[in-house]
A and B are shown apart, each in its own frame.
Chain A
């Protein structure tokens, strides 16, 4: 059934269709309509779901850790400060290998106070051991949530699904909403690896000495290394059931191009338009949409370089002292490769500044004109 819904509403549908059993969330702009929508859907009796209206985001994740250990499918949503507040518990969720799905609406972190789109919040959490999946449109948001639970429960890693503040969260688009009957065979009930059972008592998260800790972390890394293969299989199945597919990265534009433009989130939709226009003007450019940030799709990207000499990366985030985080991760992935195009790291759109077609064009033109970037960080649209 197709409906015109906002990104937040799409999240709510995704959660309901996934038969989530425990939700625990704390309101923060611009996530609020997710929890409001969910409250209404639950109150209308559509699902046997407990919604714990906790008193902070840290408690929200802690409650889900408790619930997931208790063997039920869990969900939370947050943004910005809320995600930052949860930081300690994000580490805990992955260390405890709990298949929790979190939706983060990308928003800037204060000060200055700012409620608009910015990827710094989710990317600040890149070391916490969560799979991170970024969405370009509301359909992708809903579909990613369904896939996220599959991936999480197969890899035993928590998954963060990310969408832009306002641009997606509060913007309506047409979305095909599957039925529960269609989703159920795709998403079987959750079966925990270690059941919480008073008949077979076990202690969870026991202290581990240096003798063993390394091996536990090794296992998390190994699980991350399996994500690409598992995510592909999940996507294959998703395609066969629902006719839609989302790879870790998507290349579009010229088949063979001199320049690649790497973007994520809604910037990608604007980029598609710009790249099309520039190709018509004769620019040798293609676009790479990054859907999966963590684990960083190094292999997939390398396969798609196909001779390009330059890659422009537009980061809607800043790791102060380093620059754009996607750019940094890209550079790290390419370091050991034979093919190492020049990386042009652009930063734009922080705190919700519009990344206009003009700015994207400017970035590509700069990349065309310069053999190598003249600055380590190229600020798009900066008012000096």
Chain B
């Protein structure tokens, strides 16, 4: 009954002013001065994730009870949810908008929950058959190399990964202890990648039993050899045989090889390696003290790690700088200076300034140096430059040599698993673009999440699905009237005594009900989650529901542009702009 009614006059009018039609013909959309529209924006967690995980999407799936769906979402971008869910430093949680309300979402724990759920179901990524002609060689089976292999294999390229050690995984296997990353989780996630048809050849080292020439059959090469050399302190006594490298020690512990250590262990350094070493030797029944030259605030190791280390009895002495290592009858003596902090240096941290004449001595049975990692470049071809500790590349990972790309710890000072995974994915996309004659810079730019640097390969493969504006949603743009404060769930931890008995996992995966509860705390910033406030509050019934609950449409025929939907969207997934005609 939406047509206009016409009357000749009294002869065909009813006796009284009784309604004979409805107002559907009156397109009140013509009143609009501003126009609302659905526009998903970038959630801050996703913008912060170096691996480019679609965090909000996988959390939404958890709230729907579709844990397998959550796993599929993660796997679109990241082959290693089980690994990240255990070892990632979760910058997503630091940026989580809920942190400005009460406590951030336990994203890290939720990622782990999803992966562990999938492992129980024995899930593997399905690969639809297809094949391309190009072959790619990847040097290094760490997180960067394997992430690149994963994405290239999903794009049907023929990938071979060359790993110099006898086991795959890079730093994941040799650097990170089992109590943080159990080997079976690592093996499972790597074998998932192999199941896509990636050939993994271990014990093959470039520059030793593999020459550059051998790689000419490959149309592109990705060098992801990482950083495995311990940095030197440049202090006297450092080179003594009994002064150990932290990385070496961890490698041996991770291979279950025996290590000879004294009782009191001094560890020099402040990063995750130092903490890993300290916590590992505690588990071997030793006492561990970390010496770090700045204060706790500047310590680069992950906060969670530090907290657990201290719980386990690791001592940390801050503002302590060893300047000499002496030995006498097996006992080590470290001469140290006290430090005070000066102005900030180029890393943004306050400069350590030694206090003269503050020399003091610390004694230890073993000294381990874990003061950072450096890259190895001897096997690299000419034309690839090292500058200030990294290999320089373009944003797309390409080096000075055509067809040769580099990434991961080799090319960056942000040395985390998540960054490496993101780097490998980005290079995979760059190689894909390179093979197809595309402008790879442009390809990458179009897949940036927010302002970057992480990318979403899903956006390249499905540009029409789940469009997302690059604006990163701030807390102020949310309507928190629809949220109630609630405590963040924490993964339960084993009691300290039990933890330090061996190398078993310290934390326990969320049970299902807790995971769902925690997932429901997610604000879903910038991303419609089907709450339907827009539909409920529209005065003109101009929000149309569609079959898919996450997809609503504004009925522009009738929308008057009041902006209530924009205002009442808790998550800023609706935008308002001036109506232009």
Answer whether residue B235 sits at the interface, using C-beta atoms and an 8 A cutoff: no
A216 touches B17 (CB 8 A): yes
The segment from B8-16, B274-282, B376-384 that touches chain A is B8-16
0 or 1 for each of A210-238: is its CB under 8 Å from B? (1 = yes): 00100110110010000000000000000
Complex contact A205–B16 (CB within 8 A): yes
A207 and B17 form a contact (CB under 8 A): yes
Q: Which of B14, B17, B19, B20 has the most CB of A within 10 A?
A: B17
B residues near A382, Cβ cutoff 8 Å: none
Name B's interface SS: loop
**B13 CB contacts on chain A under 8 angstroms:** 212, 215-216, 219
Contact call B17/A194, Cβ cutoff below 8 A: no
**A212–B7 touching, CB < 8 Å:** yes
Q: Does A292 contact B (CB under 8 A)?
A: no
Interface membership of A208, Cβ < 8 A: yes
Q: A215-B9, A218-B10, A219-B10 are in contact. Are A206 and B18 (CB under 8 A)?
A: yes
Q: Which residue of B lies closest to A207 (CB)?
A: B17
How far apart are the CA atoms of A96 and B17 in the complex, in Å?
A: 8
Kindly supply a per-residue 1/0 record for chain A positions 251-273, scoring 1 wherever the CB is within 8 Å of any chain B CB and 0 otherwise: 00000000000000000000000
Give min CB distance, B14 to chain A, whole Å. 8
Instruction: Produce 1/0 per residue, B1-40, CB < 8 A to A.
Output: 0000001011001111111100000000000000000000
Smallest CB gap from A194: residue in B: B18
A96–B19 touching, CB < 8 Å: no
Within the complex, what minimum Cβ distance (angstroms) separates A86 from chain B? 20
Is A184 engaged at the interface, CB distance under 8 Å to the other chain? no
**Count of chain B residues with Cβ under 8 Å from any Cβ of A?**
11
- Are the C-beta atoms of A193 and B19 separated by less than 8 Å? no
A257 to B15, CA, bound (A): 44
Q: Are B19 and A202 in contact (CB under 8 A)?
A: yes
Q: Nearest-CB distance from A153 to chain B (Å)? A: 13
Q: A212 contacts which chain B residues (CB < 8 A)? A: 7, 13, 17
Q: Which residues of B contact A218 (CB under 8 A)?
A: 10
Residues in B whose Cβ lies below 8 Å from that of A219: 10, 13, 15
Chain A residues whose C-beta falls within 8 Å of the C-beta of B18 in the assembled complex: 194, 202-206
Hey, which chain A residues are within 8 Å of B15, CB to CB?
97, 156, 193, 219
- B9, A205: Cβ atoms closer than 8 Å: no
Interface residues of B in 455-500 (CB under 8 A from A): none
Q: Mark A83-116, 1 if CB is under 8 A from B, else 0.
A: 0000000000001110000000000000000000
**Chain A stretch 327-347: residues in CB contact (< 8 A) with chain B:** none
In the bound assembly, the distance between CA atoms of A312 and B473 in angstroms comes to 91
List of A residues within 8 angstroms of B14 by Cβ: 194
Size band of the A side of the interface?
A: 10 to 19
Give bound CA distance, A193 to B17, whole Å. Answer: 13
Select B16's contact among A204, A207, A222, beta carbons within 8 Å: A204
| CB interface residues, B 309-349, toward A, < 8 Å | none
A205, A207, A215: residue with the most chain B Cβ atoms closer than 10 Å: A215
Determine the distance from Cα of A42 to Cα of B345 in the docked complex, in whole angstroms.
100
Chain A residue with Cβ nearest B15: A97
Contact assessment for A203 and B10 in the assembled complex, using a CB-CB cutoff below 8 Å:
no
Contacting pair B10 A96 (CB below 8 A): no
CB distance from A165 to the nearest CB of B (A): 34
Once the chains are docked, how many angstroms separate the CA of A219 from the CA of B13?
9
Chain B residues near A95 (CB-CB < 8 A): 16
CB distance from A188 to the nearest CB of B (A): 20
Min CB–CB distance B5 → chain A (angstroms): 11
**How many angstroms between the C-alpha atoms of A96 and B15 in the bound complex?**
8
**What distance in Å separates the Cβ of B229 from its nearest Cβ neighbour in chain A?**
82
Query: Nearest Cβ in chain B — how far from A292, in angstroms?
Result: 22
CB distance from B280 to the nearest CB of A (A): 77
Chain B, residue nearest A213 (CB): B17
Which chain B positions have C-beta within 8 A of A207? 17
A239 CB to closest chain B CB (Å) equals: 29
Cβ contact within 8 Å between B19 and A215: no
Which single residue of chain A is at the shortest CB-CB distance from B8? Answer: A215
**Which residue of B7, B9, B16, B20 is within 8 Å of A96 (Cβ)?**
B16
Contacts of B17 in A (CB 8 A): 204-208, 212, 216
Give the complex CA separation of A152 and B313 in angstroms. 100
User: Least Cβ distance of B411 to chain A in Å?
Assistant: 71
Min CB–CB distance A208 → chain B (angstroms)? 5
Bound: A205/B17 CA distance, A: 5
Residues of chain A with a CB closer than 8 A to B16's CB: 95-97, 193-194, 204-205, 216
Shortest Cβ gap from A312 to chain B (Å) = 40
Query: What string of 1s and 0s marks CB contacts (under 8 Å) between A191-203 and chain B?
Result: 0011000000011
Distance in angstroms between the alpha carbons of A218 and B10 in the assembled complex:
7
Nearest neighbor of A214 in chain B, beta-carbon distance: B10
Instruction: For the complex, give the distance between the alpha carbons of A205 and B10 in Å.
Output: 17
B19 near A206: Cβ-Cβ < 8 Å: yes
Q: How far is the CA of A204 from the CA of B16 in the complex (A)?
A: 8
Residues of B within 8 A of A193 (CB): 15-16
Q: Please, how many angstroms separate the alpha-carbon atoms of A212 and B7 in the complex?
A: 9
Contacts of A194 in B (CB 8 A): 14, 16, 18
Q: How far is the CA of A206 from the CA of B22 in the complex (A)?
A: 12
Interface string of B335-378 (1 = CB under 8 A from A): 00000000000000000000000000000000000000000000
B425 CB to closest chain A CB (Å) equals: 59
Residues of chain B from 430 to 453 with CB closer than 8 A to chain A in the complex: none
As a 0/1 sequence over residues 283 to 295 of chain A, the CB contacts with chain B under 8 angstroms (1 = contact) are 0000000000000
Instruction: Provide a sorted-by-A list of 15 A–B residue pairs whose CB atoms are within 8 angstroms.
Output: A96-B16, A193-B15, A202-B20, A203-B18, A204-B16, A205-B17, A206-B17, A207-B17, A212-B7, A212-B17, A215-B7, A215-B10, A216-B16, A216-B17, A222-B10
In the A-B complex, the 9 residue pairs with the closest CB atoms: A203-B19, A215-B10, A206-B17, A208-B17, A97-B16, A218-B10, A97-B15, A202-B18, A206-B19
Q: B residues engaging A (CB < 8 A)?
A: 7, 9-10, 13-20
A interface residues (Cβ-Cβ under 8 A, vs B)? 95-97, 156, 193-194, 202-208, 212, 215-216, 218-219, 222
14 A-B pairs besides A202-B18, A203-B19 with CB distance below 8 A are A193-B15, A194-B16, A203-B18, A204-B17, A206-B17, A206-B18, A207-B17, A212-B7, A212-B17, A215-B7, A215-B9, A216-B13, A216-B16, A216-B17
